[in-house]
Amino acid sequence: MDFLLSGITSVTIPQIIMYCVGALLIYLAIAKGYEPSLLLPMGFGAILVNLPLSGVIDQVLPGIGNTHGIIQWLFESGIEASEALPLLLFIGIGAMIDFGPLLSNPIMLLFGAAAQFGIFFTITVAVLMGFSLPDAASVGIIGAADGPTSILVSQILKSNYIGPIAVAAYSYMALVPLVQPLAIKAVTTKKERLIRMPYNPVSVSKRLKIIFPIAVTIIAGFVAPQSVSLVGFLMFGNLLRECGVLNSLSDAAQNILANLVTLLLGITISFSMRADVFVTWKTLLILILGLIAFIFDTIGGVMFAKFINLFRKNKINPMVGAAGISAFPMSARVVQKLAIKEDPTNHLLMHAIGANVSGQIASVLAGGIILNLLTAILK
């Protein structure tokens, strides 16, 4: 009967901590509705991979030898070997995005760039705190509020902290409605939040919508070659949406593909949440640095809008700059809710959507630029 109790008696304190982490993620997914399609499989996976001698990861069993676990295989094949799962998810995300609001008001593209400030600020802080440059860059990219990009960059850079980075990236994406209002209000006045912006969209032709994803991919390929896989898959998904001849494939990418890959990605990334690599003091530090990156990305977008207003007759509501992060469409909704709270007749949603979709492009370009810079520095 000893073998029936061997699992219970071999449980360690770090594994118990991971059971609690898994339970917390499941609670946030179910009770609070925070990114349930990601947090629930991540939470359940965190429990699976930390069970003693778990069959979901590779083991060496006495008298049997090597056995292979499904979650470890998915991680090694779908993330470590090819980054396939994050990239496939980008096809679905691209198919969901309408770049029309951005194309009708191109100035919003600047806010996507400005709202990446927190990434580079946090990289600097992380290096000063003793992280290696690849690990610091991987931590900084959390600020993009883009889970697939965070996973991809940390994997390519072979960071030692993929698990904490993934948890931080997706957790802060889920907490956008809680974190962003506090950051926005900290750096704006009520008068600034009351600024009205009339929406007079310019008609965007179907031809331009088709040309846009192709042009962005080519330009990104020249400017940041390492971003081609990220930008290319995102824009390919958008091309499926806009071409008008592959509607069934576009629908499949938005629904079936995106949902299936999200499910697999969530439970697969839990392989890097094993207690022996996750329960360290640096994990807590990464969560703090990730929050700093996220907050400073938001502040960067807001402050850039305030800077532009120094030279504009028609002022931009600074809150729109906060939507320049990649958390689509949550960030745009946050800006709209804040605007309506200040003035029920002030509608900023379409302006915020334009900034928000530009953040999608900017975040993957930021990831590619970071990879290019580190490749040059680490030669």
- Residue 31: Cβ within 10 Å count: 9
Alpha-carbon gap, residue 366 to 149, rounded angstroms: 9
pLDDT in tens, 150-207: 888 888 888 888 878 877 887 777 778 888 889 999 899 888 888 888 877 677 888 9
Query: Are 264 and 84 in contact, with CB atoms under 8 Å apart?
Result: no
Backbone angles phi, psi at 59, to 5 degrees: -140, 160
* Residue with the two structure tokens 């965190």: 46
What is the full per-residue pLDDT of the chain (379 aa) written as tens digits? 555 566 666 788 889 999 999 999 899 889 988 778 888 998 999 999 999 878 888 777 666 767 788 999 998 888 877 788 888 988 998 899 888 888 888 888 888 888 888 888 899 999 998 888 888 888 888 887 777 788 888 888 888 888 788 778 877 777 788 888 899 998 998 888 888 888 776 778 889 999 999 999 998 888 878 778 888 999 999 999 999 888 899 999 999 999 999 889 889 988 888 888 888 888 888 888 988 888 898 999 899 999 998 888 888 898 988 888 877 778 888 888 888 988 888 888 888 888 888 888 888 888 888 888 887 776 6
Alpha-carbon gap, residue 14 to 272, rounded angstroms: 14
Alpha-carbon gap, residue 338 to 251, rounded angstroms: 32
Alpha-carbon gap, residue 232 to 221, rounded angstroms: 9
Query: How far is CA 220 from each of CA 67, 139, 215, 321, rounded to the nearest angstrom?
Result: 43, 23, 8, 23
Angle between helices 330-342 and 349-377 (to 10 degrees): 140
Query: Are 166 and 269 in contact, with CB atoms under 8 Å apart?
Result: yes
Query: Are 147 and 166 in contact, with CB atoms under 8 Å apart?
Result: yes
